[in-house]
Structure 1
């Protein structure tokens, strides 16, 4: 881990705050059905293109469905046979993904975790390849608004992962340097955003599609999940600042 004092933490959403398999396996199937206009063979093909096994429901790390944004998914699926324009399918998928926050499954008690980190003095943000509206809907639904200082989606104007724009925008908004910022995520896209943006600490978690073998070379520390962040990492950092 870096010796630089961490003052802010930027979280990925899906696979980090939310259990990827329990939350997104049914949503991905619904999205493929929508894009395939009810054609089951095409829907299965679109899932495969997206990196999800149509039979098992498992999604590959760093695949389109694991790490891509809605525009990227729409373009790939249209190329694979979906009969929509890019604008039509992107809008339809964004609507589906935003509505799906009602069925999201958190990996832990996020209110307790974020309140704990906030009380320790950390500024907190969420950066996702989902839309800003979907992130805002999730934050509201899970009662996280008092502790979230920043939200960035693929359509927020900061660029997309693994580019560093979301991280740099978070740092600017919080008045901290990238070296004072930790990035927490389940996917190489998250870690590569952190690397390209110069984040001071990269934390990989295993509640999404990324495996330890995939994440370990890219992160400073790899945890089973964010459940132990406050005690395993940030408690020590907070203590070192006092």
Structure 2
């Protein structure tokens, strides 16, 4: 692997699902619950909604850049209503947010995240999280994983910075840290993450193959692809 962080990079902004936590292990059961809520208990309709939102009802696998992989609760709710949910969209979005907060109690970390964060901090890098999940769910995940002391910034779709792939969350992180977007590396598993990085003028866009994305979906937008965040220390160049 020849690509390395430039010395201009001062901070890393992580996506959460598929990047820091295993997407399918963390969310398959919750997404089934969400679909059943949206279907008002109709199991057949729930399977239809699961498929329409990107999750195979039989395997629990989620497709790259699908609604479950990349969208927020408002977008998922609207999509479910469009495909047959009888629940009013705003009410459904609230119910989905609640389900996602509850699902945050059982995250599956991609690797030893505490050790990873310590390594990055020792290299002088500040750390943030930007997710299409709601902020409350992100904070719960961080708390459960014992990472609160490592994280300098958290933003969800409802934090007031705009949703992905708009540049607001990355720009807000940079502003919070007193640096420029060009001094931030974005790390994520789907195109929305890479598109946000490009739109914000990030210093680097790093794609991980541990989530719903693939070489095919990420190569054209990422500066480099790695297997997972556990490979990040190998990209560090520090005196």
TM-score higher than 0.5 = yes
Q: Deviations over 1:62-93 (max 9, x none)?
A: 11110000000011111211121222111111
Q: Which residue of 2 aligns with 1:233?
A: 235
Gaps in structure 2 of 5+ consecutive residues: none
Maintained 8 Å contact 1:202/1:219: yes
State how 1:49-198 maps to structure 2 within 5 Å. 49-198=52-201
Maintained 8 Å contact 2:40/2:87: no
In structure 1, C-alpha distance between the alignment counterparts of 2:72 and 2:104, rounded to whole Å: 16
In structure 2, C-alpha distance between the alignment counterparts of 1:64 and 1:141, rounded to whole Å: 25
Residue range with higher mean Cα deviation, 21-30 or 220-229: 21-30
SS of 2:174's equivalent in the other structure is helix
In structure 2, C-alpha distance between the alignment counterparts of 1:155 and 1:127, rounded to whole Å: 11
In structure 2, C-alpha distance between the alignment counterparts of 1:216 and 1:179, rounded to whole Å: 20
How far residue 228 of structure 1 moved from its aligned partner, in angstroms, is 1.6
Q: Which residue of 1 aligns with 2:218?
A: 215
In structure 1, C-alpha distance between the alignment counterparts of 2:71 and 2:6, rounded to whole Å: 32
How far residue 56 of structure 1 moved from its aligned partner, in angstroms, is 2.2
Gaps in structure 1 of 5+ consecutive residues: none
Q: Deviations over 1:4-58 (max 9, x none)?
A: 6100000000000001111112211111011111111100110111011222222
State how 1:5-44 maps to structure 2 within 5 Å. 5-44=8-47
Q: What is the number of equivalent residue pairs in this alignment?
A: 236
In structure 1, C-alpha distance between the alignment counterparts of 2:211 and 2:6, rounded to whole Å: 28
| TM value normalised by structure 2 | 0.95
